[in-house]
Structure 1
Amino acid sequence: MPGQQPAGSYARKVLAPWRVDLSWSSAQLEGNRCSRLDTEALFRSGVMGTHIDAVMLFNHKNAIEFLVDVVPEHGLTPGVVRNLHAVLMQDLLPDSGELGAIRRKVVNISDTVYFPSQVPSLLSEMLERILDTARVIKNPIEAAFFLWVNIAYLQPFEDGNKRTSRLAANIPLMLYNRAPLAFLDVDRGHYAEAMVGVYERQDVSLAVDLFDWTYRRSCAKYAVVLEAMSAPPLLREELRKLEAFNCARYRVTMGATEAWTAAGRPA
């Protein structure tokens, strides 16, 4: 369509704050102990080291960059999702042969009685069905939610299924140039409750509420980031003086100012 930007344009524009947001938020949900400031400093340094928390964060960063690079060309395919898992779990699995591979071992999920399928051929088939279904869902937000809950429910990989589902949920959003999903400010306990509802009762009500809440936060934040990027040079100079305590004189809300500041004050 005339004027339509290529797939992935939105995600690429907000990549700098988004990869920090999603990397840190997703890692926190896995029990990572690094702070957001630690994450930003780590990414600026470019030095991963060997500490498991740093490896997890860098893997998220690399996986997000992988999606930005490949999704516009390849879309939503088993190959993309399996490579996504391989990047996310690099140096975190005892057997590197399991990276991106459909699992052949029994997997147990903590804090739930749910016991996922253990048949590799069925897991592979079901993963393809999930992706096929997501591709025909016209609403990219619905497709993102569908991928998030169903990949986590299927547990197709030996480990790292939930983090793979969180990043994979961004693929439809990227293809339709919608705001990316970062799982901003999601409480780990609330996330676990939502997943237990999916695992044990096939009840997505808590997951719907959580997804709706956090995606609205992502939309609000990245809208502010894009708006700041489009500001003329003179306004950019004024923006350097903008703070939550003086934003009223610029006719900017405190919420928008705080979101812009949290994004690193993009110019």
Structure 2
Amino acid sequence: MSGLSPATVLVAIQRLAHTGHPEVTSSEVARATQGSLATVRRHLNALCDGGQLTRSGQARGTRYRLAGRTAAPEQPSANQHPAWSPAAIELGRKLDMPLAARDPVTYRRDFVEDYVPNKNWLMPQELAEALYRDGRLREQQPAGTYARKVLEQLLIDLSWSSSRLEGNRYSLLATEDLFKRGTAGSDADAVMLLNHKTAIEFLVDAVPLQGLSTAIIRNLHAVLMQDLLADTEALGVIRKKMVNISDTVYVPTQVPSVLEEMLGIILAKARLVKNPVEAAFFLWVNLAYLQPFEDGNKRTSRLAANIPLMLYNCSPLSFLDVDAHDYAQAMMGVYEIRDVARAVDLFAWTYRRSIKKYVVVMESMGAPNPLRLRYREHLSEAIGLVVRDRKSARAAMEELGLTADQAPGFQTMLLEELQKLEVFNCARFRLTMTATQAWIDANRPH
């Protein structure tokens, strides 16, 4: 990055600290500033020497923080955790026992088979109904409208939050920058984030048309794990290999026929659940418990939980601010004891945060522009002709019968959107990232 200076590096670290990353690596700063690692490290050393930063750790474990900021406490502050119920606290005590003191367990299919949709509830019924009332879009709209309206923010929030739970080291700021660039190089963390982005875009496009199906879930897994599984034949395929989960005594079933059968039963029951919040929770818990794929099961379950919410136009669930240890214990409670107490508390807490976040996002958009609503579909068609077919804006307008006389104001709106079009916002016009990037690389011909 030309003009990179110690001041630029310091500002980047301040922004990272504001997004919840008080300690950063030199690589994270390099990604945030788009500077070379050698230059960034030189400026970091200068800032440390000048007393503006402090350094801790050695070699690859080196971390930098703003001077005067104390290290984060071992236990996050209270507002970063759910207010655990007595049942969740008791479950936590059981899960805190050493592994050697806990008996090995395997998959129990009756956890799903005994569940009767709309009669049994994994989440307390009153809670599920309250969350549905708070999270739903008030006016009647086509399925998927809510998710599409907040798509740009959702892509960043859910991709980053879900990837962070998998140990991804990118900061929120670096994730935004990555989505603007749209290329991953050889960085596995970047691939993970971009896969999440593509998977969310896939759901927003496909779910309103196809609903909740086995094909949707298997495609979701394939997109999430593309270039992250050594065996490409395992993408979207029910696993035939043994999987082991670290830090738990739970051993998933290893029988492919059982995995396939139970996946079908889980999806069939989820489709019958009338309350979309309960359906989302049911999917999240059961897909992770089943472990139907070779890898990537938890991230698949997190995104799949959004499918019922999309279908019923509820606020998306982006797992904002979830602590990795809290998440692991919620999963272990299901894996080992089939107890959802901690999962319920965690889900309700983070979904309420998502609801508040996307209400604000919706409000920030203001009232819809009547002109944009009138020409919504025509705008997508025209932009598709320009980007995919490389037609001029004028030719696209003429082909669609949208000349200045026939559609006043359309040309100005079209040219403005073409100027703002990027790979990270192209899904709203039903464009692929590849086609959009090729058009941008060709200097945006229009």
Choose which of 31, 36, 44 in structure 1 pairs with 2:172: 36
Q: Which amino acid aligns with 1:21?
A: D
Say what the alpha-carbon RMSD is for the aligned residues. Answer: 1.1
Choose which of 133, 148, 152 in structure 1 pairs with 2:269: 133
Write the deviation string for residues 112-169 of structure 1: whole angstroms up to 9, x where unpaired: 0100111111100100100001001000000000000000000000000000000000
Choose which of 207, 213, 219 in structure 1 pairs with 2:343: 207
Write the deviation string for residues 12-57 of structure 1: whole angstroms up to 9, x where unpaired: 0000001100000000000000000010000011112120000000
Task: Measure the CA separation in 1 of the matches of 2:211 and 2:170.
Answer: 32
Query: SS where residue 216 of structure 1 aligns?
Result: helix
Write the deviation string for residues 156-204 of structure 1: whole angstroms up to 9, x where unpaired: 0000000000000000000000000000000001000111101000000
2:312 alignment counterpart: 176
Choose which of 286, 294, 312 in structure 2 pairs with 1:150: 286
2:230 alignment counterpart: 94
1:23 alignment counterpart: 159
Q: Which amino acid aligns with 1:104?
A: K
Question: Bigger shift: 175-184 or 43-52?
Answer: 43-52
* Residue 185 (str. 1) matches residue 314 (str. 2): no
Percent sequence identity is 70
Query: SS where residue 319 of structure 2 aligns?
Result: coil
Task: Measure the CA separation in 1 of the matches of 2:308 and 2:219.
Answer: 17
Q: Which amino acid aligns with 1:71?
A: V
Using structure 1 for the length normalisation, give the TM-score. Answer: 0.85
| 1:231 shift after superposition | 4.9
1:250 alignment counterpart: none
* Residue 103 (str. 1) matches residue 247 (str. 2): no
Choose which of 143, 146, 153 in structure 2 pairs with 1:7: 143
| 1:232 shift after superposition | 8.3
1:218 alignment counterpart: 354
Query: SS where residue 126 of structure 1 aligns?
Result: helix
| 1:228 shift after superposition | 1.1
Write the deviation string for residues 45-82 of structure 1: whole angstroms up to 9, x where unpaired: 11121200000000000000000010000000000000
> Which has the larger share of helix?
1
| Bigger radius of gyration among the two | 2
Task: Measure the CA separation in 1 of the matches of 2:333 and 2:172.
Answer: 29
Q: Which amino acid aligns with 2:245?
A: I
2:186 alignment counterpart: 50
2:121 alignment counterpart: none
Report 1 or 2 for greater relative contact order, CA contacts < 8 Å, sequence distance ≥ 6: 1
Task: Measure the CA separation in 2 of the matches of 1:197 and 1:38.
Answer: 33
1:247 alignment counterpart: none
Write the deviation string for residues 65-116 of structure 1: whole angstroms up to 9, x where unpaired: 0000100000000000000000000000010000000000000011101001
Q: Which amino acid aligns with 2:229?
A: L
Task: Measure the CA separation in 2 of the matches of 1:117 and 1:78.
Answer: 19
Q: Which amino acid aligns with 2:291?
A: Q
Write the deviation string for residues 213-243 of structure 1: whole angstroms up to 9, x where unpaired: 000000000011111112589xxxxxxxxxx
Task: Measure the CA separation in 2 of the matches of 1:6 and 1:74.
Answer: 13
Task: Measure the CA separation in 2 of the matches of 1:165 and 1:49.
Answer: 27
1:116 alignment counterpart: 252
| 1:4 shift after superposition | 2.1
Task: Measure the CA separation in 1 of the matches of 2:148 and 2:140.
Answer: 15
1:228 alignment counterpart: 364
Number of matched residues? Answer: 231
Using structure 2 for the length normalisation, give the TM-score. Answer: 0.51
Q: Which amino acid aligns with 1:213?
A: W
Detail structure 1 runs of 4+ shifted over 4 Å in the superposition. Answer: none
